[in-house]
Amino acid sequence: MYHAVFRTDASNSIGGGHVMRCLTLANELKKRGWRCTFSTISETLKVIPALLSSGHDIIDSEARIDHADVLIVDHYGLDAGFETAARKWARRIFVFDDLHNRLHDCDYLLDQTFGCDAAVYEAVNH
């Protein structure tokens, strides 16, 4: 069984869309036999109660993770520092990002912004 870990948070002011996007992806992976774990803060569960009833594993964002086939990061506050450290336990790293204002250490990066060009990320790296 493959294991995906999602690192995402939500509060009353930000992040609800990030968590719902990850929950949608996790639900699809689960249909295909994956185990999915959400690494998040407690406030997320208050803002997105659907996460509690989803059937996915939920752990505190500070909890130790031993292994994941893929880490999926959807979080404006995390960057290459977090991602590089996660390489100890994550085989692959996938990042959702649309700010292009920080470095990433990932295998896959998805920016769903219409018309976005990879050059915006190249500019961050210089």
Of the candidates 109, 112, 99, which has an alpha carbon nearest to the alpha carbon of residue 21?
A: 112
Given this model, what pLDDT does residue 101 score?
83
- 2 in helix, strand or coil? coil
pLDDT tens, position by position, for the chain (126 residues)? 999 999 999 999 887 999 999 999 999 999 999 999 999 999 999 999 999 999 999 999 999 999 999 999 999 999 999 999 999 999 999 999 988 889 999 999 998 766 666 666 665 654
Given this model, what pLDDT does residue 62 score?
97
Q: Which residues contact 45 (CB under 8 A, 6 or more apart)?
A: 51, 52, 58
pTM as predicted: 0.91
